[in-house]
Amino acid sequence: MKFRDAPPGPEHSLLRTVATWPGRGPTQLAFEALGFSLHRARQNRIIQFCGEERSGLLNRYWDEIAKETMHSLGQAAPDEREFVIQPEYRSAFLDELFAQRDFIEPPFRYPPLVKCLFEYHKRIYLDREFRESEVVFFSNLRDSESERLGVQTMGWSGKKRDVVPFVEQFCAALAFERRRNRWRKKAAGGLVFEVGVFLGGNPYCVGWAPLIFRIFHESDPKFAFHTEGGGVLDRLVPGADDYGRGGKASDYVLGIRALIELFNVIAGSFDLSSGTRAS
C-alpha cells in the first residue's frame, strides 16, 4: 500500500471499525465449523514439534500476531516490529518477545519471535527428509479434505482465467455481488469485503491461486486492507496459507474455496462483534 501523504490516523473509519474484530479464536472456530481443517493440522503439527508445554505460548503469539495484523490492515511485519500503519493496538507481549530474541542467524534475518517455531521453519528449509515428510503429510490431508467437501475440478486447466468461474461459484453461494471481475459483500460497520482475481503476468497459476482480498470502508474505497493469496490471511488464522498453495487441480480449487470461505467468515465476525456490542 502506498500513500501520497502520511497514512491515515487511527480515527479513520476503516481503522476504527477493524479494531472491533473479535480475534483469531472465534474466526478460526467458525471456519472449522464449515469443515476446513488444514490450518488446524498445521498448528497442531507445530505444537507437536515444539512440545505440548509450548502450546500456550504459541497460541498467545498467534493471537497477538492476528490482532496486530488486522489493526494495521496487514501493513506490518510483526516479527520485525515494523508497521507501515501504526496500529491502535500494539502488543506488549510481542514487544517483549522481540526484545528477548537472541536466535537470529544467517540466512534467517527475521525469524518468528518464538524460538521453537523458528526451529520448525528452519528444519523445513534445511532438512530435505523432514520437508518431504511434511509435504506428503499435508498433501494427503488436502486430498482427504477435497474428497470430504466434494471438490469438483471440471473446467480447470491451470490458467488464471479459469479461476474466475470458480470464484463466481463460491462467491455467489455466499451472497457476494459481482461487479465485473470483483465480488463484494457488505458487513457491519460500513465495511465492504471484496474478492478479485489477478490475471496479469504468467497466464498460468504457478504454485498459488491468484486471489485478491480487499477490505475497505464504504466512505473511502481507496484506503483498504489489501492482500494477494493466503500470506496475510495466514497471520489472521495460522495455517491458512496451506490453502493458498497449489499443485494439482483439486489443490487449487480447494484453496480457492477455502480462502473465500475464510474471508467470508471474517466478514461475518464483524456482524457478530457488532451484535455483541449492541446487546
**Omega before 238 cis (within 30°)?**
no
> Which pTM was predicted?
0.93
Angle, alpha carbons 117-47-139 (nearest 5°)? 90
CA angle 63, 67, 38 (to 5 degrees): 50
* Residue 211: CA count within 13 A, CB half-sphere: 36
> Reading across the β-sheet that carries 191-197, which strands appear in turn?
177-179, 182-186, 191-197, 211-217, 220-228
Contacts of 177 (CB under 8 A, 6+ apart): 183, 184, 185
**254: nearest Cα among 160, 125, 166, 127:** 166
Contact 101, 111 (CB under 8 A): yes
Say if residues 118 and 137 touch (Cβ distance below 8 Å): no
pLDDT at 184: 98
d(CA 181, CA 198): 9
Grid cell, residue 20, equals 472491533
CB atoms within 10 A of CB 25: 13
pLDDT tens sequence for the chain (279 residues): 444 345 666 679 999 999 999 999 999 999 999 999 999 999 999 999 999 999 999 999 999 999 999 999 999 999 999 999 888 899 999 999 999 999 988 888 889 999 999 999 999 999 999 999 999 999 999 999 999 999 999 999 999 999 999 999 999 999 999 998 899 999 999 999 999 999 999 999 988 889 999 999 999 999 999 999 999 999 999 999 999 887 899 999 999 999 999 999 999 999 866 554 544
Ramachandran sector of residue 150 (left: φ over 0; alpha: ψ -120 to 50; beta: rest): left
* Alpha carbon distance 194, 213 (integer Å): 6
pLDDT on residue 5: 44
Q: Which three cell numbers stand for residue 175?
A: 451472497
What integer pLDDT is reported at residue 247 of this predicted model?
Answer: 86
Q: Where are the alpha helices (DSSP H) in the chain?
A: 13-18, 24-32, 38-50, 55-71, 92-100, 115-126, 128-148, 163-173, 233-236, 249-278
Residue 2 confidence (pLDDT): 42
Cα–Cα distance for residue pair 54/199, rounded to 1 Å: 42
DSSP state of 243: G
Rounded CA separation 176/168 (Å): 9
What is residue 244's predicted lDDT score, i.e. its pLDDT?
87
